[in-house]
Amino acid sequence: MTDFTTRSAMNDTTFAVLGTGGIGRRTLEVSQHKDGLTPVAACDRHGVAMDFDGLDVEELLEATEGNIDSGPGTDAPRGTDASRDDDLETDGGAAASSGVKQHGENAGVVASAQARPSEDPIQEIIDHGDGIDAVLLALPNYEHDFIPRVADRFVAGGYAGVLVDVLKRSRVIGMLDEREEAFEDAGITFVCGAGATPGFLTGAAALAAQSFVEVESVDIWWGVGLKSGYEDNRGTVREDIAHLPEYDIDTARTLSEDEIEAVIDDHDGVLEFDDMEHADDVLLERAGICDAEDVTVGGILDVERDEKPTTTTVSVTGTTFDGETGTNTFELDDATSMAANVNGPAIGYLKTAVRRNRAGEYGVFGPAELMPGF
């Protein structure tokens, strides 16, 4: 019989974070409060920090506070098309002169005593993949094929393990599905859309759907108050602006910092979104919960205040086995922050994916597929 200590050791997980913007930093911070997790690497476009005995997260976070690239396409490691200084058309890569805030001589992660500059930080992570169970891709996704292309590099480099992203675009799921066979051959378990929405909320919808034999609709309505403000969440705000009626992914990714702030000012700091192109729809469809067209996503982002402008809810309407029609509603407490609701679930899905990977399950998985089957 396997005792608790042995089970815990079997579940120990080493992980790396690509990108040290808001999501990457918060993932490292939250991981300190989760059992069985050891962060061993973190990188951004400037360099890489790596220690297989475990990073000193507190030192890393303190050293890089306020030290993140802030231009269009923030925070992609070098070694990707998105990191080219002259290319603002891909997500993740900002020109070095584009609003970089830094302490002393070093920008980004290189400000940490644990880090060093690198011409290709991603390749360094890949080259040390034998010691890394899972990698969180904490990168913006302005170019739809950017995260799939990063995944291609891990396949080409011989990585076998877990990749997790927190993407929010429906069409990217299809690009990852096209790589399913390559992931399976490589021994990669890829979990897509593992943040708050779609990940947390599609997981809630998958549970709520269990009451029904047929789901008629799923309505997701979210509210976010940026407790840490726009400065710490530039990538998230830019991605969300692309969902406003007067913008799209192409126009949003080329906005200057002044233009983004003007958009925020024009909306008095509160951005409201209806019928967004979020990956919740295709992720619920691939899990067999409902058709993608039966899913609606909207929400309100308050960039200037701590309080959530509206309560985040997931409402699943369906018919039970005995012919009754009802709606199950899942509600997030207004006190839980965006960071808690994004990074906590992302880490949970990461740990689940590691268990699946060790059991020999490879390919592409949506968060709802890791919940009870419908």
Kindly name the residue from 46, 124, 168, 308 that is annotated as catalytic. 168
Evaluate whether 194 touches 350 at the Cβ level (below 8 Å).
yes
Give me the pLDDT at residue 82, please.
47
239 a catalytic residue: yes
Active-site residue identified among 46, 124, 143, 239: 239
Tracing tokens 């913008």 back to the chain, one arrives at 247
pLDDT tens for each residue of 248-297 = 878 888 888 889 889 999 999 999 999 888 899 999 999 999 999 999 99
Report all structural domains of the chain as residue ranges with CATH numbers, in order of start. 4-195+340-370 (3.40.50.720), 197-336 (no CATH)
Q: Provide the token pair at 283.
A: 């992720």
Residue 51: the pLDDT is 97
Residue from 46, 124, 143, 243 carrying the catalytic annotation: 243
Amino acid at 304: E
Is 144 a residue of the active site? no
pLDDT at 232: 63
Q: What is the pLDDT of residue 110?
A: 92
Looking at this protein, which amino acid is placed at residue 16? A
Whole-model pTM: value is: 0.85
Extract the residue ranges of the chain whose pLDDT is less than 50: 1-8, 70-75, 82-104
Distance between CA 49 and CA 63 in Å, rounded?
A: 12
- The question of whether 267 is a catalytic residue gets the answer no
Predicted pLDDT at 8: 46
